[in-house]
């Protein structure tokens, strides 16, 4: 039975890029092996420096994930910081991590390119991520395409450690990236990302969602003129939510002309709103039971600790501690 692992950073509200890129595939995987999913609060600390905000975002991420279908009877959900052993493993890995490997990692390179002052946490983040994956002896890591490089770094580090301290020290993980959902576009057509301010958050209020969708910037092509669906972020997003028939209809309406962007946006809003109706209902149900999330995270932490302790003991011994 494969061990499956993935994490999500509670830096703000989860969005539909997270949902299609990672949450939904992760939820599918929970039926295929032992799945462990964590709320990456240590990682979030590279950018969130407000305790109340981090706590709130972590709790909300747990709630959203459970509402979308994560089943605690099948998958282990826990907070990364409830297993502080990963920070020790991160150090142990870092002594074999070449600086050049981290300098090539895109999160750090992007921060520099955008003129942001990178902290050591952001620079070293792929090492902590490697520790997250390796400490649970993970086989499969369901992620969006932006994380592919970091899973490759994890494999590189595991190979180096195995060559240096014993060939069976770490299992080599494989990323699982669904080709059609590798990069979900945002409101502006670029990759959906909190840093680009182009996200559609999960579980927005109806009015707020409508405002976001109706606010998508479009060109000034007149209503009667044919339009290109392939370059439209409205169509790109609609494809994720609508049935094949409805997608074909919108595509034809784009190409034939006679339909304005306002109409396409209304269809997109309705498709998103309907898609999340069952998850919204589930979310309200969970919110009525105040102890539920704490209990799920407590049980999750217990299982994650069990697994982490076994790995860390093995690694400490192999390295001479």
**How open is the CA angle 42-46-50, to the nearest 5 degrees?**
85
Q: Residues 3, 4, 5, 8: which binds ligand AMP (CB under 6 A)?
A: 8
Q: Which is nearer to ligand AMP, 184 or 312 (CB)?
A: 184
**Per rule CB under 6 A, count of chain residues that contact ligand AMP:** 16
Taking the C-alpha atoms of residue 296 and residue 62, their distance in angstroms, rounded to an integer, is: 9
In DSSP terms, 175 is beta-bridged to: 141
Q: Which is nearer to ligand AMP, 127 or 161 (CB)?
A: 127
Q: Residues 3, 4, 5, 17: which binds ligand AMP (CB under 6 A)?
A: 17
Question: In this structure, which long-range contacts are made by residues 236-242, counting pairs with CB atoms below 8 Å and at least 24 apart in sequence?
Answer: 236/185, 236/189, 237/16, 237/185, 237/200, 237/268, 237/272, 238/264, 238/267, 238/268, 238/271, 240/16, 240/20, 240/181, 240/184, 241/268, 241/271, 241/272, 241/274, 241/275, 242/267, 242/271
Q: Contact region for ligand AMP (CB under 6 A) — 62-70, 184-192, 299-307, 311-319?
A: 184-192
Q: Which of residues 155-174 bind ligand AMP (CB under 6 A)?
A: none
Question: Applying CB under 6 A, does 191 fall inside the site for ligand AMP?
Answer: yes
In the complex, least distance from residue 240 CB atom to ligand AMP, rounded to whole angstroms = 10
Under DSSP, is residue 204 helix (H, G, I), strand (E, B) or coil?
coil
Q: Which is nearer to ligand AMP, 135 or 177 (CB)?
A: 177
| CB-side neighbour CA atoms (13 Å) of 114 | 9
Q: Which of residues 51-110 bind ligand AMP (CB under 6 A)?
A: none
Backbone angles phi, psi at 38, to 5 degrees: -125, 155
Residue nearest to ligand AMP (CB): 21
**How open is the CA angle 27-35-52, to the nearest 5 degrees?**
75
The alpha-helical segments, DSSP class H, found in the chain are 16-18, 24-29, 41-44, 51-67, 85-94, 99-103, 106-113, 120-134, 148-165, 206-214, 233-241, 244-256, 261-275, 277-287, 292-319
Q: Residues 3, 4, 18, 80: which binds ligand AMP (CB under 6 A)?
A: 18
Q: Which is nearer to ligand AMP, 93 or 240 (CB)?
A: 240
Q: Residues 4, 21, 132, 301: which binds ligand AMP (CB under 6 A)?
A: 21
**What are the structure tokens assigned to 229, written together?**
């669906």
- Residues present in the chain in total: 321
Determine how β-strand 75-79 pairs with β-strand 34-39: parallel
Question: Applying CB under 6 A, does 184 fall inside the site for ligand AMP?
Answer: yes
Q: Which is nearer to ligand AMP, 10 or 229 (CB)?
A: 10
Q: Residues 53, 149, 183, 195: which binds ligand AMP (CB under 6 A)?
A: 183
Question: Applying CB under 6 A, does 175 fall inside the site for ligand AMP?
Answer: no
Q: Which is nearer to ligand AMP, 42 or 165 (CB)?
A: 42
Rg (C-alpha) for the chain, rounded Å, is 21
Per-residue interface string for the shown chain with ligand AMP, residues 120-149, x marking contact by CB under 6 A = -----------------------xx-xx--
Q: Which is nearer to ligand AMP, 193 or 259 (CB)?
A: 193
Question: Applying CB under 6 A, does 216 fall inside the site for ligand AMP?
Answer: no
Q: Which is nearer to ligand AMP, 27 or 312 (CB)?
A: 27
- Enumerate binding residues for ligand AMP (CB under 6 A): 8-9, 17-18, 21-22, 40, 143-144, 146-147, 183-184, 191-193
């Amino acid at each position: 039975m494969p061990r499956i692992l993935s994490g999500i950073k509670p830096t703000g509200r989860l969005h539909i890029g997270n949902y299609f890129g990672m949450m939904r595939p992760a939820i599918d995987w929970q039926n295929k092996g032992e799945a462990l999913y964590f709320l990456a609060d240590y990682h979030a600390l590279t950018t969130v420096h407000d305790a109340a905000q981090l706590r709130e975002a972590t709790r909300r991420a747990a709630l959203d994930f459970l509402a979308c279908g994560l089943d605690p009877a099948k998958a282990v959900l826990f907070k990364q910081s409830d297993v502080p052993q990963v920070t020790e493993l991160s150090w142990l890995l870092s002594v074999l991590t070449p600086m050049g490997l981290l300098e090539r990692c895109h999160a750090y390179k992007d921060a520099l390119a955008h003129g942001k002052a990178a902290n050591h946490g952001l620079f070293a983040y792929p090492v902590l991520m490697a520790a997250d994956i390796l400490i649970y002896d993970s086989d499969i890591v369901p992620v969006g395409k932006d994380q592919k490089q970091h899973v490759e770094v994890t494999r590189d580090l595991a190979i180096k450690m195995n060559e240096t301290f014993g060939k069976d020290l770490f299992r080599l993980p494989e990323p699982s990236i669904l080709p059609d959902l590798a990069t979900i576009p945002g409101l502006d057509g670029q990759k959906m990302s909190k840093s680009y301010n182009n996200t559609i958050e999960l579980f927005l209020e109806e009015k707020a969602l409508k405002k976001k969708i109706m606010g998508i910037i479009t060109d000034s092509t007149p209503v009667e003129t044919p339009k290109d669906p392939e370059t439209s972020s409205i169509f790109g997003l609609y494809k994720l939510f609508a049935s094949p028939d409805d997608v074909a209809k919108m595509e034809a309406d784009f190409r034939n002309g006679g339909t304005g962007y306002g109409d396409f946006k209304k269809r997109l809003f309705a498709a998103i709103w309907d898609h999340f109706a069952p998850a919204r209902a589930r979310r309200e149900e969970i919110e009525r039971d105040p102890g539920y999330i704490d209990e799920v995270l407590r049980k999750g932490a217990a299982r994650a600790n069990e697994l982490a302790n076994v790995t860390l003991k093995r690694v400490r011994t192999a390295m001479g501690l």
